[in-house]
Amino acid sequence: MNHEIKEPIGSLRISKDVLATIAANATKEIEGVAGIAPFTTNIKNWITKKQSAVPVPVFISLHDDIAVIDINVVLLEGANIPAVCRNIQVAVKEAVQSMTSINVSKVNVTVADIRFHGEKGANTAD
């Protein structure tokens, strides 16, 4: 499903993929983030049998022109997890709202893994 804005001169559609890309890029810019987790399990959709064929690292839900964003991340060793997650929430919300004018009610962050110094980047979908 896409977000559609109707204007007198036509309409504008913004794909959920675009919102996910904006959210992922905003997340990657936060200090302490190693990357986006390559696989997410959306328990709500799994229970209701609405999972997609291909798992996505950022899940966007749109209801009445309000977005809820679920994102799984890999953090760097030594990161202050609550502080980094709060920074992700603020950055993602601001980025999506400023670039698309779509209101974001929640940004749910799940820490899927920690990358320790010396580990290769195989654990992220950068």
Model confidence over 78-116: pLDDT tens digits? 999 999 999 999 999 999 999 999 999 999 999 999 999
Model confidence over 48-84: pLDDT tens digits? 555 554 556 899 999 888 999 999 999 999 999 999 9
Beta bridge partners of 70: 59, 108
CB atoms within 10 A of CB 42: 17
Model confidence over 5-63: pLDDT tens digits? 666 788 888 889 999 999 999 999 999 999 999 865 555 555 555 555 455 689 999 98
Q: What is the model's pLDDT at position 8?
A: 75
User: Are the C-beta atoms of residues 113 and 39 closer than 8 Å to each other?
Assistant: no
Structure tokens, 112: 């899927």
Report the alpha-carbon distance of residue 24 to residue 65 in Å, rounded: 20
User: Are the C-beta atoms of residues 82 and 121 closer than 8 Å to each other?
Assistant: no
Domain edges within the chain: 3-123
Superfamily of segment(s) 3-123:
Cation efflux protein, cytoplasmic domain (3.30.70.1350)
